[in-house]
Amino acid sequence: MEVILNINGVEQSHDVEPRTLLVQFIRESAGLTGTNIGCDTSSCGACTVHLNGESIKSCTVLAAQVDGMEITTIEGLAEDDGTLHPMQQAFHECHALQCGYCTPGMVMACVSLVDENQNLTESEVREGLEGNLCRCTGYHNIVKAVLELSLIHI
């Protein structure tokens, strides 16, 4: 079946099987490999993207279900000139990554968290990110990056 999605401002039209997950569409059909597949069970959050501006785990949604919608992946956050999104910059400055596997999904989840809440507390950040796992246990610096941005609100 044909699925048409606007991914990072570019229309992507591909013929896929009806059972194709959104994460597979993004990685395999659209060729955007920044969105990672971690667990296939919605437990880890490595596949987190924005669907019409809201954070979702793309392993839980069929591409056909979101036909015609707007997707933003980690590749779509930075400006065209390479300027990092403020959350990406905060992750860089706060050393909020280790192996980097969770980072794309974590950044996407953090952007939504800060967009939805201002002046977050540490416990609110930790609770807000419960669905995204960092196997390297780099949470301290991830929380630090989010707290820095929640004070200025992106």
Please provide the DSSP assignment of 7-45 as one string: ETTEEEEEE--TT-BHHHIIIIIS--TTSPP--SSSSS-
Arithmetic mean of pLDDT over the chain: 94
Separation of alpha carbons 50 and 68, rounded Å:
14
Judging by beta carbons within 10 Å of its beta carbon (0-12, 13-18, 19+), is residue 71 exposed, middle or buried?
Answer: buried
Q: What local confidence, expressed as pLDDT, does residue 152 receive?
A: 64
Average pLDDT, integer, range 84-100: 95
Judging by beta carbons within 10 Å of its beta carbon (0-12, 13-18, 19+), is residue 75 exposed, middle or buried?
Answer: middle
Q: Which helix (H) or strand (E) holds 57?
A: strand 54-57
Average pLDDT, integer, range 49-65: 97
Q: Give the CA count within 13 Å in the CB-facing half-sphere of 56.
A: 19
In 3D space, the residue among 83, 87, 77, 75 whose CA is nearest the CA of residue 144 turns out to be 87
Structure tokens at 93: 């400055």
Name the β-bridge partners of 21.
62
pLDDT digits (tens, 9 = 90+) for 3-43: 999 999 999 999 999 999 999 999 999 999 999 999 878 89
Please give the backbone phi and psi of residue 72, each rounded to the nearest 5 degrees, phi first: -120, 130
Q: What local confidence, expressed as pLDDT, does residue 101 receive?
A: 95
